[in-house]
């Protein structure tokens, strides 16, 4: 496994990936986050004193546990009810995910909130038009690459290839060691042919992106601008995430950042141990609003 990882790294170096545009290439101010509830009284005061509040959550690994297969996930009814209750209290709520927008909305099913799919390329309210920053040429290019990967990887047992219009995810959680190395070879070949294409590692997944600066943080900023209009409001922003791509948001956002999962160094200020603790936050947040 380590040999395969080093081979992928060498492949990226030979491809001369433009790291300035890669989603994972930014300076991180990593620290050891404090448990959110250890500082809850101070956070509660900030909630009660805020003029406006915005809550943004990643989905997989944050609101719900990571599942063996992406299609085996649904937001629990209790969390759905809590998010709907919060949205009715004039709090801006958004779910920001790597999933396709339509898939995310179907699995969350909360009214009155914003949905962001494909890591920031598509977004919409629960009702209303879909906004996208994906160009027609990028869509065509990613479809072409998805077809190429599908041909090269279709014979590998356990691999799951997701084409999400703007991004392509290669899931290898159920792939054996020798077959994993075949995936590495295919990706190295792809990166040599497309040296400007960013590649981001996640939890048993690699994700390919168009060569652009779009990400979860730009989507959050765009939503805040749409909501605020010409009025510059003093908004207290929360963001909860669990994966490497969420570190960009943690590192560059202004507000309260929370990494979910095993306690580790992160650009986030706070951490929660699990999606279950995120549920506890939702309950205590509702109580703090009263």
- Over residues 236-271, the pLDDT tens digits come to 999 999 988 899 899 999 999 999 998 889 999 999
pLDDT in tens, 137-179: 999 999 999 999 999 999 999 999 999 999 999 999 999 888 9
Average pLDDT over residues 27-35: 78
Which domain-ending residue is among 152, 179, 208?
A: 208
39 and 91 both lie in a single domain: yes
Q: How many domains does the chain have?
A: 2
Residue with tokens 């790597």: 98
What is d(CA 60, CA 197) in angstroms, rounded to the nearest whole number?
24
C-beta separation of 98 from 119 below 8 A: yes
Q: Where are the beta strands (DSSP E) in the chain?
A: 34-35, 52-57, 92-96, 114-117, 122-125, 131-132, 160-163, 168-171, 199-201, 205-208, 235-241, 256-260, 270-272
Which domain-ending residue is among 164, 189, 208?
A: 208
128 and 142 both lie in a single domain: no
Q: Strands of 114-117's sheet, edge to edge?
A: 34-35, 270-272, 256-260, 235-241, 52-57, 92-96, 114-117, 122-125, 131-132
109 and 144 both lie in a single domain: no
C-beta separation of 182 from 170 below 8 A: no
203 and 279 both lie in a single domain: no
Name the burial class of residue 69, with classes exposed (0-12), middle (13-18) and buried (19+) by CB atoms within 10 angstroms of its CB: exposed
Give the CATH number of the domain where residue 240 resides.
3.40.50.1000
121 and 9 both lie in a single domain: no
Name the burial class of residue 99, with classes exposed (0-12), middle (13-18) and buried (19+) by CB atoms within 10 angstroms of its CB: buried
Least confident of 120-129, 166-175, 273-282: 120-129
146 and 237 both lie in a single domain: no
106 and 201 both lie in a single domain: no
55 and 87 both lie in a single domain: yes
What does the pLDDT read at residue 230?
Answer: 55
What DSSP state is assigned to residue 196? T
Strands 168-171 and 205-208: antiparallel
Residue 244 sits in which domain range? Answer: 34-133+214-289
C-beta separation of 200 from 206 below 8 A: yes
Neighbours of 178 (CB within 10 A): 9
pLDDT in tens, 183-218: 999 999 999 998 889 998 888 899 999 978 899 999
Q: What angle do CA 105, 106, 109 make, to 5 degrees?
A: 70
Q: Output the pTM of the full model.
A: 0.84
N-term to C-term CA, the chain? 52
C-beta separation of 222 from 228 below 8 A: no
117 and 146 both lie in a single domain: no
Which domain-ending residue is among 169, 186, 208?
A: 208
231 and 88 both lie in a single domain: yes
């Amino acid at each position: 496994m380590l040999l395969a990882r080093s081979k992928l790294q060498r492949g990226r170096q030979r491809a001369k990936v433009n790291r300035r545009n890669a989603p994972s290439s930014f300076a991180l101010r990593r620290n050891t986050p404090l448990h959110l509830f250890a500082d809850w009284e101070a956070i509660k005061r900030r909630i009660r004193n805020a003029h406006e509040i915005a809550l943004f959550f990643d989905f997989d690994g944050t609101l719900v546990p990571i599942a063996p297969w992406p299609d085996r996930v649904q937001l629990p009814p209790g969390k759905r009810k809590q998010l709907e209750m919060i949205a009715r209290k004039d709090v801006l709520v958004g779910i920001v995910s790597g999933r396709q927008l339509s898939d995310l909305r179907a699995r969350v099913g909360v009214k009155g909130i914003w949905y962001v799919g494909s890591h920031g390329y598509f977004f919409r309210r629960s009702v209303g038009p879909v906004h996208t920053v994906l160009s027609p040429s990028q869509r065509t290019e990613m479809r072409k690459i998805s077809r190429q990967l599908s041909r090269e990887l279709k014979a590998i047992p356990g691999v799951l290839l997701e084409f999400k219009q703007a991004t392509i995810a290669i899931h290898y959680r159920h792939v054996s060691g020798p077959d994993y190395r075949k995936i590495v070879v295919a990706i190295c070949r792809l990166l040599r042919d497309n040296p400007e294409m960013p590649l981001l590692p996640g939890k048993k997944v690699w994700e390919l992106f168009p060569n652009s600066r779009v990400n979860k943080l730009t989507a959050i900023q765009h939503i805040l601008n749409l909501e605020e209009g010409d009025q510059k409001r003093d908004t207290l922003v929360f963001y909860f995430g669990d994966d490497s791509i969420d570190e960009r948001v943690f590192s560059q956002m202004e507000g309260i950042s929370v990494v979910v999962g095993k306690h580790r160094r992160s650009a986030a200020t706070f951490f929660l141990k699990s999606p279950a603790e995120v549920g506890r936050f939702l309950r205590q947040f509702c109580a703090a609003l009263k």
